């Protein structure tokens, strides 16, 4: 896979934590950042099927939702 060079700013304390983790785990920072970004994107991306099921569930339980809100 081709690598892309990025530039960004992070909190100094977080950067130090990342460097320590890289040392402790014998990994490089680039690999840790790639893994962290991949995990972040995976968690944040909601599949359309999941949203559709959520909307269906909300619609099916609309009355229950109103009662719980009281």
- The 10s digit of each residue's pLDDT in 31-60 is 999 999 999 998 888 788 888 899 999 999
| Structural domain containing residue 64 | 26-69
**CA-based nearest residue to 33, from 58, 62, 6:** 6
Query: 20 in a domain, yes or no?
Result: no
Query: 14 in a domain, yes or no?
Result: no
**Dihedral of alpha carbons 39, 44, 46, 50, sign:** positive
| pLDDT beyond 80 at 1 | no
Give the pLDDT score at 47: 83
The number of distinct structural domains making up the chain is: 1
Start-to-end CA span in the chain (Å): 54
- The 10s digit of each residue's pLDDT in 5-25 is 999 999 999 999 999 999 999
């Amino acid at each position: 896979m081709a690598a892309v060079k990025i530039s960004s700013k992070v909190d100094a304390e977080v950067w130090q934590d990342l460097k320590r983790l890289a040392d402790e785990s014998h990994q490089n920072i680039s690999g840790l950042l790639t893994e962290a970004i991949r995990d972040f994107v995976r968690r944040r991306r909601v599949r359309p099927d999941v949203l559709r099921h959520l909307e269906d569930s909300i619609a099916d339980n609309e009355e229950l939702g109103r009662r719980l809100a009281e």
